[in-house]
Protein backbone atom coordinates (compact mmCIF):
# COMPACT_ATOMS: atom_id res chain seq x y z
CA UNK A 1 0.00 0.00 0.00
CA UNK A 2 2.88 2.37 0.82
CA UNK A 3 4.23 1.68 -2.70
CA UNK A 4 0.91 2.67 -4.33
CA UNK A 5 0.55 5.70 -2.08
CA UNK A 6 4.01 6.88 -3.17
CA UNK A 7 3.03 6.41 -6.84
CA UNK A 8 -0.20 8.38 -6.37
CA UNK A 9 1.66 11.20 -4.63
CA UNK A 10 3.91 11.51 -7.70
CA UNK A 11 0.95 11.82 -10.06
CA UNK A 12 0.25 8.22 -11.09
CA UNK A 13 -3.55 8.22 -10.78
CA UNK A 14 -4.77 5.92 -13.57
CA UNK A 15 -6.52 2.98 -11.85
CA UNK A 16 -5.50 0.41 -14.49
CA UNK A 17 -1.85 1.48 -14.30
CA UNK A 18 -1.85 1.31 -10.49
CA UNK A 19 -3.44 -2.16 -10.58
CA UNK A 20 -0.84 -3.38 -13.08
CA UNK A 21 1.98 -2.00 -10.93
CA UNK A 22 0.50 -3.64 -7.86
CA UNK A 23 0.48 -7.00 -9.70
CA UNK A 24 4.13 -6.84 -10.85
CA UNK A 25 6.67 -7.25 -8.05
CA UNK A 26 9.65 -4.99 -8.81
CA UNK A 27 11.89 -7.05 -6.51
CA UNK A 28 11.76 -9.96 -9.00
CA UNK A 29 13.53 -7.76 -11.57
CA UNK A 30 16.45 -6.90 -9.28
CA UNK A 31 19.39 -8.93 -8.05
CA UNK A 32 21.55 -9.05 -4.93
CA UNK A 33 21.64 -6.09 -2.56
CA UNK A 34 19.27 -4.03 -4.67
CA UNK A 35 16.30 -6.36 -4.08
CA UNK A 36 15.94 -4.78 -0.62
CA UNK A 37 15.41 -1.37 -2.20
CA UNK A 38 12.83 -2.53 -4.76
CA UNK A 39 9.99 -0.52 -3.23
CA UNK A 40 11.89 2.75 -2.97
CA UNK A 41 11.18 5.36 -5.63
CA UNK A 42 14.64 5.41 -7.14
CA UNK A 43 16.43 4.06 -10.21
CA UNK A 44 18.69 1.08 -9.46
CA UNK A 45 21.56 -0.58 -11.37
CA UNK A 46 21.05 -3.78 -13.38
CA UNK A 47 23.41 -5.76 -15.65
CA UNK A 48 25.23 -4.36 -18.71
CA UNK A 49 25.62 -0.92 -17.10
CA UNK A 50 21.89 -0.20 -17.42
CA UNK A 51 19.30 0.82 -14.83
CA UNK A 52 15.75 -0.04 -13.81
CA UNK A 53 13.78 3.22 -13.77
CA UNK A 54 12.18 4.53 -10.60
CA UNK A 55 8.61 3.27 -10.17
CA UNK A 56 7.01 6.73 -10.35
CA UNK A 57 8.62 7.37 -13.77
CA UNK A 58 7.54 3.90 -15.00
CA UNK A 59 4.02 4.73 -13.81
CA UNK A 60 3.93 8.19 -15.39
CA UNK A 61 5.27 6.90 -18.72
CA UNK A 62 2.77 4.02 -18.74
CA UNK A 63 -0.06 6.40 -17.84
CA UNK A 64 0.93 8.82 -20.65
CA UNK A 65 0.97 5.92 -23.12
CA UNK A 66 -2.75 5.23 -22.47
CA UNK A 67 -2.54 1.53 -23.38
CA UNK A 68 -5.85 -0.18 -24.13
CA UNK A 69 -6.63 -3.94 -23.99
CA UNK A 70 -6.52 -4.46 -27.79
CA UNK A 71 -3.27 -2.61 -28.33
CA UNK A 72 0.01 -3.86 -29.74
CA UNK A 73 2.92 -2.09 -28.04
CA UNK A 74 6.59 -1.73 -28.94
CA UNK A 75 9.01 -1.08 -26.08
CA UNK A 76 12.53 0.02 -26.98
CA UNK A 77 14.89 -0.88 -24.13
CA UNK A 78 13.86 -4.10 -22.37
CA UNK A 79 16.34 -3.61 -19.54
CA UNK A 80 15.22 -5.67 -16.53
CA UNK A 81 11.85 -6.43 -18.14
CA UNK A 82 9.93 -4.57 -15.42
CA UNK A 83 8.31 -2.02 -17.72
CA UNK A 84 7.37 -4.69 -20.28
CA UNK A 85 5.75 -6.82 -17.55
CA UNK A 86 3.56 -3.86 -16.53
CA UNK A 87 2.64 -3.17 -20.17
CA UNK A 88 1.71 -6.85 -20.58
CA UNK A 89 -1.08 -6.38 -18.02
CA UNK A 90 -2.59 -3.56 -20.09
CA UNK A 91 -2.00 -4.52 -23.75
CA UNK A 92 -2.87 -7.41 -26.01
CA UNK A 93 0.72 -7.87 -27.14
CA UNK A 94 4.09 -6.36 -26.20
CA UNK A 95 7.22 -6.48 -28.34
CA UNK A 96 10.32 -5.47 -26.39
CA UNK A 97 13.74 -4.95 -27.96
CA UNK A 98 17.12 -4.41 -26.35
CA UNK A 99 20.66 -4.17 -27.73
CA UNK A 100 22.01 -6.42 -24.95
CA UNK A 101 21.41 -10.13 -25.51
CA UNK A 102 22.03 -10.91 -21.84
CA UNK A 103 19.24 -8.54 -20.71
CA UNK A 104 16.80 -10.01 -23.24
CA UNK A 105 17.64 -13.59 -22.21
CA UNK A 106 17.25 -12.80 -18.49
CA UNK A 107 13.99 -10.88 -19.04
CA UNK A 108 12.49 -13.63 -21.21
CA UNK A 109 13.36 -16.24 -18.56
CA UNK A 110 11.58 -14.10 -15.98
CA UNK A 111 8.50 -13.65 -18.20
CA UNK A 112 8.36 -17.44 -18.65
CA UNK A 113 8.67 -18.01 -14.89
CA UNK A 114 5.84 -15.54 -14.27
CA UNK A 115 3.66 -17.13 -16.98
CA UNK A 116 3.55 -13.89 -18.97
CA UNK A 117 2.89 -15.13 -22.49
CA UNK A 118 2.09 -11.92 -24.38
CA UNK A 119 5.60 -10.42 -24.42
CA UNK A 120 8.10 -11.15 -27.19
CA UNK A 121 11.61 -10.02 -26.20
CA UNK A 122 14.11 -9.60 -29.04
CA UNK A 123 17.79 -8.68 -29.22
CA UNK A 124 17.97 -5.93 -31.82
CA UNK A 125 18.97 -2.33 -32.48
CA UNK A 126 15.93 -0.60 -31.01
CA UNK A 127 16.54 2.61 -32.94
CA UNK A 128 15.26 0.74 -36.02
CA UNK A 129 12.12 -0.51 -34.26
CA UNK A 130 10.53 -3.72 -35.59
CA UNK A 131 9.28 -3.04 -39.10
CA UNK A 132 8.00 -6.61 -39.60
CA UNK A 133 5.52 -6.15 -36.72
CA UNK A 134 4.51 -2.56 -37.53
CA UNK A 135 2.29 -0.65 -37.26
CA UNK A 136 2.10 -0.35 -33.48
CA UNK A 137 -0.69 1.30 -31.47
CA UNK A 138 1.80 2.48 -28.87
CA UNK A 139 5.59 2.87 -28.71
CA UNK A 140 7.59 3.46 -25.53
CA UNK A 141 11.28 4.36 -25.43
CA UNK A 142 13.20 3.90 -22.20
CA UNK A 143 16.33 5.60 -23.57
CA UNK A 144 16.78 9.23 -24.57
CA UNK A 145 16.97 10.35 -28.18
CA UNK A 146 17.85 13.85 -29.38
CA UNK A 147 14.61 13.85 -31.37
CA UNK A 148 11.80 11.30 -31.74
CA UNK A 149 13.35 8.78 -34.21
CA UNK A 150 11.65 9.04 -37.61
CA UNK A 151 12.01 5.27 -38.12
CA UNK A 152 9.89 4.65 -35.03
CA UNK A 153 7.34 7.35 -35.86
CA UNK A 154 6.89 5.65 -39.24
CA UNK A 155 5.99 2.41 -37.39
CA UNK A 156 3.30 4.14 -35.32
CA UNK A 157 -0.31 3.78 -36.41
CA UNK A 158 -2.41 6.90 -37.13
CA UNK A 159 -4.01 7.74 -33.79
CA UNK A 160 -1.08 6.05 -32.05
CA UNK A 161 0.98 7.45 -29.19
CA UNK A 162 4.73 7.37 -28.55
CA UNK A 163 6.22 8.32 -25.17
CA UNK A 164 9.95 8.97 -24.87
CA UNK A 165 12.63 11.07 -23.20
CA UNK A 166 14.32 13.56 -25.55
CA UNK A 167 17.43 15.66 -25.06
CA UNK A 168 21.19 15.44 -24.80
CA UNK A 169 22.31 12.67 -22.47
CA UNK A 170 24.47 14.93 -20.28
CA UNK A 171 21.78 17.53 -19.54
CA UNK A 172 18.20 17.41 -18.33
CA UNK A 173 15.88 15.62 -20.72
CA UNK A 174 12.15 16.07 -21.30
CA UNK A 175 9.63 13.28 -21.26
CA UNK A 176 7.31 13.87 -24.20
CA UNK A 177 4.21 12.31 -25.65
CA UNK A 178 3.81 12.31 -29.43
CA UNK A 179 0.38 11.62 -30.91
CA UNK A 180 0.28 10.75 -34.61
CA UNK A 181 -2.78 12.30 -36.27
CA UNK A 182 -4.01 12.51 -39.85
CA UNK A 183 -2.78 16.12 -39.85
CA UNK A 184 0.69 15.35 -38.46
CA UNK A 185 2.39 14.98 -35.09
CA UNK A 186 1.13 16.50 -31.87
CA UNK A 187 3.77 16.96 -29.15
CA UNK A 188 3.19 17.36 -25.43
CA UNK A 189 5.95 17.90 -22.88
CA UNK A 190 5.26 16.03 -19.63
CA UNK A 191 8.17 16.56 -17.24
CA UNK A 192 11.96 16.52 -16.87
CA UNK A 193 13.66 13.11 -16.60
CA UNK A 194 17.09 11.50 -16.87
CA UNK A 195 17.64 8.37 -18.97
CA UNK A 196 20.56 6.58 -20.59
CA UNK A 197 21.02 7.64 -24.24
CA UNK A 198 19.52 5.67 -27.13
CA UNK A 199 22.47 4.05 -28.89
CA UNK A 200 22.63 2.43 -32.30
CA UNK A 201 23.96 -1.07 -32.89
CA UNK A 202 24.09 -4.06 -30.56
CA UNK A 203 25.72 -3.84 -27.14
CA UNK A 204 28.66 -5.86 -25.90
CA UNK A 205 27.41 -7.81 -22.86
Q: Which positions are annotated as active-site residues?
A: 53
Instruction: Kindly report the three-state secondary structure assignment for every residue of the chain.
Output: CHHHHHHHHCCCCCHHHHHHHHHCCHHHHCCHHHHHHCCCCCCEECHHHCEECCHHHHHHHHHHHCCCCCCEEEEECCCCCHHHHHHHCCCCEEEEEECCHHHHHHHHHHHHHCCCCCEEEEECCHHHCCHHHCCEEEEEECCEECCCCHHHHHCEEEEEEEEEEECCCCCCEEEEEEEEECCEEEEEEEEEECCCECCCCCCCC
Total Cβ atoms within 10 A of residue 133: 14
The sign of the CA dihedral 110, 116, 120, 125 is: negative
User: Alpha-carbon distance 50 to 46, whole Å?
Assistant: 5
Amino acid sequence: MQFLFALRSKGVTDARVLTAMEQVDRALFLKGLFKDRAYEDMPLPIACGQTISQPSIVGLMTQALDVQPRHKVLEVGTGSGYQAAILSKLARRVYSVDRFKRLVTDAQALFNALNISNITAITADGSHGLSDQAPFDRILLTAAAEDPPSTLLAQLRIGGIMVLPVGQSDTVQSLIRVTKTEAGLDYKELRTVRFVPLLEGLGQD
